[in-house]
């Protein structure tokens, strides 16, 4: 099956699956991988890119000649960039990343500078597409253990308001709308949908936030309130939400009722252990790799217990007394291929994603869909037996079929 529809929703995959931190490396990846994926899934259609830029690559691409050359490349290849993954600022492959992936977070001024730079780049890339809004996904404030006081939360909110002021300025200058999309994730400041709604209500959409943006932009109160809703939203990652045992219908309705824009849905799936027993835990150990953080959420009845990474969850389970295998369920933040409903003895959270895609068809909660299975090179060998271009193509075909059934 080929991608026959252009426009809403824009469907792509995130290029963070391809190792590369410099702009030269990223540009090479676009030529080596993205063009081949495009040829397999698109049929005479403009093909959107979910661009991941490190801090270094963003600085390099910001140079006028480099950015102009990239725009020419996009035009020549019938490509366009509608979303940027601004979550990982530093190295994202081939080294221990774990909780460092959130740094610099919104407690650090560098995060504001970096995200402002991404917004300027995306605004320029959208110059030739005046009917397309842009989105930039970002860390959900900070890793939860980094936030030690209400004043830290205020610092995070303050920097997001400064970024909103910058996005408003860019819209005034260029007419392009960019949304900064906070991405809730287990064990972060914004972890659940309810926490996310509360943060927006109390810190980003509150009367004091409106007054702050009004002062930063010289907008009236009503104009500032509109600007906040226009430029600050969420990136709903299907893996993260499923790991948190969220309900897709309730997640979308809750965000909608709170007036929070879903700027992007990241199409991803995690691991699910409906029964946690010795055999399942033993089979899970190969997934406890050393590069990425794999948070675990355990459900016992109505109680949720969270672990910051898979190794400590496994260690804790190994020291617990044996109980009935049906008393608890684990969900693990380990992005697995969307098209595999099972991985050996494990299920994945594909049912959550399938329901989310059905809601996308019925309600169109977002215009931006981005597949994000970045862990391909750290999956146990038996689950990554195909070339990465073929794997990405299969994921895109699975999504297209889900959207067109």
Query: What is the pTM for the complete model shown?
Result: 0.96
Q: What is the CATH number of domain 10-269+348-404?
A: 3.20.20.150
Is residue 375 over pLDDT 80?
Answer: yes
Angle at 132 between CA 119 and CA 35, to 5 degrees: 85
* Whole-number Å distance between alpha carbons of 253 and 258: 9
Report pLDDT for 327.
80
Per-residue DSSP letter, 300: E
* Whole-number Å distance between alpha carbons of 16 and 292: 13
Length of the chain measured in residues? 405
* Whole-number Å distance between alpha carbons of 222 and 225: 5
Is residue 324 over pLDDT 70?
Answer: no
Is residue 8 over pLDDT 80?
Answer: no
Strand 47-52 relative to strand 134-138, pairing: unpaired
In 3-state terms, what secondary structure has residue 317? helix
Angle at 194 between CA 192 and CA 199, to 5 degrees: 95
Region label for 294, one of left (φ > 0), alpha (ψ between -120 and 50) or beta (otherwise): beta
Q: Which two tokens stand for residue 72?
A: 């020419």
Strand spans (E) along 277-316: 296-300, 303-307
Residues 145, 191 contacting (CB under 8 angstroms): no
Strand 178-182 relative to strand 134-138, pairing: parallel
pLDDT in tens, 224-278: 999 999 999 999 999 999 999 999 999 999 999 999 999 999 999 999 999 898 8
* Whole-number Å distance between alpha carbons of 349 and 271: 6
Is residue 322 over pLDDT 60?
Answer: no
- Among candidate residues 187, 193, 184, the one with its CA nearest the CA of residue 249: 193
What is the average pLDDT value for the chain, to the nearest integer?
94
pLDDT in tens, 345-370: 899 999 999 999 999 999 999 999 99
Confidence of residue 4 (pLDDT cuts 50, 70, 90): very low
pLDDT in tens, 176-209: 999 999 999 999 999 999 999 999 999 999 999 9
Report pLDDT for 344.
87
- Among candidate residues 315, 305, 322, 307, the one with its CA nearest the CA of residue 285: 315
Report pLDDT for 321.
57
Q: What share of the chain is helix, strand, coil (3-state, %, to 5)?
A: 50, 20, 30
* Whole-number Å distance between alpha carbons of 123 and 351: 35
- Among candidate residues 202, 185, 347, 353, the one with its CA nearest the CA of residue 269: 353
Average pLDDT over residues 45-67: 97
């Amino acid at each position: 099956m080929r991608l026959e529809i252009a426009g809403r929703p824009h469907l792509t995959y995130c290029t963070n699956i391809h190792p590369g931190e410099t702009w030269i490396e990223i540009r090479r990846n676009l030529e080596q991988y993205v063009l081949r994926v495009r040829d397999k899934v698109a049929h005479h259609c403009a093909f959107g890119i979910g661009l991941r830029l490190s801090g270094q690559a963003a600085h390099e691409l910001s140079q006028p000649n480099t950015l102009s050359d990239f725009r020419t490349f996009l035009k020549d290849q019938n490509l366009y960039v509608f979303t940027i993954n601004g979550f990982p600022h530093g190295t994202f492959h081939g080294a221990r990343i774990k909780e460092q992936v959130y740094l610099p977070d919104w407690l650090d001024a560098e995060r504001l500078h970096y995200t402002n730079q991404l917004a300027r780049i995306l605004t320029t890339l959208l110059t030739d597409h005046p009917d397309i809004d842009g989105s930039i996904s970002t860390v959900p404030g900070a890793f939860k253990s980094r936030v030690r006081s209400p004043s830290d939360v205020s610092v995070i909110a303050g920097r997001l308001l400064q970024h909103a002021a910058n996005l408003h300025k860019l819209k005034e200058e260029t007419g392009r709308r960019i949304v900064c999309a906070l991405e809730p994730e287990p064990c972060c400041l914004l972890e659940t949908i309810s926490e996310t709604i509360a943060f927006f209500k109390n810190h980003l959409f509150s009367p004091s936030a409106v007054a702050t943006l009004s002062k930063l932009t010289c907008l009236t109160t009503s104009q500032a309130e509109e600007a906040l809703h226009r430029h600050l939203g969420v990136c709903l990652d299907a893996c993260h939400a499923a790991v948190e045992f969220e309900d897709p219908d309730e997640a979308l309705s809750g965000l909608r009722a709170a007036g929070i824009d879903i700027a992007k849905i990241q199409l991803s799936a995690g691991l699910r252990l409906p029964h946690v027993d010795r055999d399942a835990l033993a089979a899970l150990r190969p997934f406890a790799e050393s590069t990425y953080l794999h948070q675990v959420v355990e459900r016992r009845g109505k109680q949720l217990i969270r672990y910051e990474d898979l190794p400590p969850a496994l260690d804790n389970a190994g020291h617990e007394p044996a109980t009935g295998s049906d008393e608890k369920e684990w969900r693990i933040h380990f992005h697995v291929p969307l098209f595999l409903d099972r991985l050996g003895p494990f299920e994945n959270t594909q049912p959550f994603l399938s329901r989310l895609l059905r809601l996308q068809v019925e309600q169109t909660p977002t215009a931006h869909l981005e597949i994000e299975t970045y862990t391909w090179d750290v999956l146990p060998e038996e689950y990554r037996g195909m070339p990465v271009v073929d794997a990405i193509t299969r994921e895109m075909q699975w999504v297209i079929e889900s959207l067109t059934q």
